[in-house]
Amino acid sequence: MTDSNSRKIAAIVGGGVIGGGWAARFLLNGWDVRVADPDPDAKRKISEVLANARRSLPALYDVALPAEGELSFVGSIAEAVSGADWVQESVPERLSIKHKVFAEILAAAGPDAVVASSTSGFKPSELQEGNEKPGQIMVCHPFNPVYLLPLIEVVPSPKTRPDLTQRAGDLLRSVGMKPLVVRKEIDAHIADRFLEAVWREGLWLINDGIANTQEIDDAIIYGFGLRWAQMGLFDTYRVAGGEAGMRHFIGQFGPALAWPWTKLMDVPELTDELVETIATQSDEQSGHMSIREMERIRDDNLVGMMRALKKNKWAAGAVIAQHQAAITPDFPEIKPEPLLLARRQIPQSWTDYNNHMNETHYLELFSVGGEVLLNMIGSDEAYVASGKSYFTAENHVIYVAETKQGDMVNIKAQVIDGKGKKLRVFYWIELDDGTLCATGEQMQIHVDLKTRRACDPEPEVRAKLNAIAEAHANLPLPDGAGRGIGAKR
């Protein structure tokens, strides 16, 4: 056991993708990690997982994670587990191998070390068979990628020491995970039983030529997968049942659904008692929220997740991106007046605790408008691919009126200076009734993407920019242009 001033130690016994994921989770949360794995490839495998983890886990947080711990590779299980706070076994899924490994682990581990298995195939009582210290052994079953997904199924057997189950939960929470204690051990624990049910159904669909892997994956990612990332089976159906609630939902759909099921396999009888059990549990789970409230939470979650996927042009996000491209208006006509570059509704996710649009998103609106302007002058995807682009040098935002969720806003722009390498633009955010919400002023510089230094734009971009700059040349300098903070208005 380490004293409270030194870093905690995790021993990783078996270092594949799962062991590597555990190693990364502990390391990036400031633990020292010792890996025992006879595989000569273990170092390479773990370093690859770690590279992925370093790229992604810190990105979840708006504060820095603790300074990374030290990673070492040791020659024996005894060396790895001696003095460790946590021992995680992720060796191949054969019980005889696991028994041998647990005997070695418990011969050298401290008496208060959590000794956990990543297994999905065995129950803790099976792992404990023949071991002299069964009380230290439990299952802590993770989900790939272990460095990102929070769920850990913590499965004790009746012999597992309750103080260690408690300690395991506390330590898992301290590295950002979500322990789900499985109260009765069962084959495959909880989550994998669902995965198996789905896998089995998928095999049948392919076997019978109904659908291929792509179609099955599409049926998941564009529909219920999105739902289940934020509300599970029962909360989803609770909301679907509406104000009438869970009893009503089961009453309405239960019997209808029984019909295809019974052709496939055995199902529990939906007795009044079982319906009552489910409805009562659902009330305990989510009865503190109204269905309307849950609908809004669900929708906000879905919007946020789909916007994240849209940024990556992936799955549901790709569908939205394509649709957006189809409904994006043509470039505005060039006239001696500000250009209407963009028009959009303010999403709920852009608001903050002051119940108005957060300061950051005003700049995002100018940035979106600026993108349209750059596309208009030919500084587009192909131009960037050719090695030229514009970088922003300065931005100045003046907040004039509060903007609320659901407001439809128009983003207008006037080119103040388009000479040489410079692109100086003034922006307005207005409501449809002309109310001014904010102004923005932006200085961009044309750059060579190889040298990352300023250079003149290509002639075709210069020509298109000049056309706009000339049309705007006689417009008055907008109110606020060139102003510094703290200046008298």
Piece in contact with a second copy (CB under 8 A), picked from 82-90, 108-116, 331-339, 396-404: 396-404
* 15 near a second copy, rule: CB under 8 A: no
Residue closer to a second copy, measured from CB, 76 or 360: 360
Residue closer to a second copy, measured from CB, 12 or 357: 357
Query: Rounded to a whole number, what is the largest CA-CA distance in the chain?
Result: 90
For tokens 């596309």, name the residue: 375
Q: What angle do CA 288, 176, 139 make, to 5 degrees?
A: 95
* 386 near a second copy, rule: CB under 8 A: no
Q: Among residue numbers 429 through 448, which ones bind a second copy (CB under 8 A)?
A: 441-443
User: Among 1, 97, 198, 463, which residue interacts with a second copy (rule: CB under 8 A)?
Assistant: 198
* 458 near a second copy, rule: CB under 8 A: no
* 388 near a second copy, rule: CB under 8 A: no
* 334 near a second copy, rule: CB under 8 A: no
**DSSP string covering 40-98, please?**
TTHHHHHHHHHHHHHHHGGGG-SSPPPPP--EEEESSHHHHHTT-SEEEE---S-HHHH
Residue closer to a second copy, measured from CB, 37 or 77: 37
User: Among 40, 75, 209, 434, which residue interacts with a second copy (rule: CB under 8 A)?
Assistant: 209
CB of 466 vs a second copy, minimal distance in Å: 19
**Alpha-carbon span 222 to 464, nearest angstrom:** 41
CB of 429 vs a second copy, minimal distance in Å: 14
* 331 near a second copy, rule: CB under 8 A: no
Q: What angle do CA 288, 289, 292 make, to 5 degrees?
A: 160
* 177 near a second copy, rule: CB under 8 A: yes
Neighbours of 90 (CB within 10 A): 25
* 196 near a second copy, rule: CB under 8 A: yes
User: Among 1, 95, 107, 203, which residue interacts with a second copy (rule: CB under 8 A)?
Assistant: 203
Binding track over 122-161 against a second copy, x by CB under 8 A: ---------------------xxx--xxxx-x--------
CB of 232 vs a second copy, minimal distance in Å: 3
Report strand pairing: 178-181 vs 339-345: unpaired
Dig out the tokens for 387 from the structure: 């090695």
Q: Which residues of 396-420 are buried (b: 16+ CB within 10 A; e: fewer)?
A: bbeebeebeeebebbbbbbbbebee
Closest CA to 416 of 440, 451, 448: 440
Altogether, the residues listed in the chain come to a count of 489
- Which whole-number Å values give the CA distances from 184 to 154, 171, 180, 353, in the listed order? 11, 22, 12, 42
CB of 70 vs a second copy, minimal distance in Å: 18
The SS3 call for residue 29 is coil
The SS3 call for residue 189 is coil
Contacts 24+ apart (CB under 8 A), 327-330: none
Q: What angle do CA 141, 177, 145 make, to 5 degrees?
A: 60
Piece in contact with a second copy (CB under 8 A), picked from 108-116, 159-167, 381-389, 457-465: 381-389
* 486 near a second copy, rule: CB under 8 A: yes
User: Among 75, 130, 268, 434, which residue interacts with a second copy (rule: CB under 8 A)?
Assistant: 268
The SS3 call for residue 103 is helix
User: Among 274, 436, 463, 473, which residue interacts with a second copy (rule: CB under 8 A)?
Assistant: 274
Spacing of C-alpha 44 from chain mean position = 26
Burial of 454 (0-12, 13-18, 19+ CB in 10 A): middle
* 316 near a second copy, rule: CB under 8 A: yes
Residue closer to a second copy, measured from CB, 136 or 156: 156
Residues that bind a second copy (rule: CB under 8 A) add up to a total of: 182
Element (H, E) at 373: helix 359-376
User: Among 202, 251, 287, 378, which residue interacts with a second copy (rule: CB under 8 A)?
Assistant: 202
Q: Among residue numbers 55 through 114, which ones bind a second copy (CB under 8 A)?
A: 55-56, 58-66, 93
Strand-pairing partners, residue 426, are: 414, 441
Closest CA to 117 of 107, 99, 109, 184: 99
* 416 near a second copy, rule: CB under 8 A: yes
Q: Are the CB atoms for 13 and 77 separated by under 8 Å?
A: yes
CB of 106 vs a second copy, minimal distance in Å: 25
* 307 near a second copy, rule: CB under 8 A: yes
Residue closer to a second copy, measured from CB, 110 or 478: 478
User: Among 206, 334, 340, 467, which residue interacts with a second copy (rule: CB under 8 A)?
Assistant: 206
Piece in contact with a second copy (CB under 8 A), picked from 82-90, 162-170, 189-197, 467-475: 189-197
For tokens 């509300």, name the residue: 231
User: Among 75, 96, 184, 272, which residue interacts with a second copy (rule: CB under 8 A)?
Assistant: 184
**Alpha-carbon span 115 to 325, nearest angstrom:** 53
Residue closer to a second copy, measured from CB, 102 or 122: 122
Binding track over 466-485 against a second copy, x by CB under 8 A: ---------------xxxxx
User: Among 2, 74, 228, 247, which residue interacts with a second copy (rule: CB under 8 A)?
Assistant: 228
User: Among 41, 293, 299, 456, which residue interacts with a second copy (rule: CB under 8 A)?
Assistant: 299
The SS3 call for residue 264 is helix
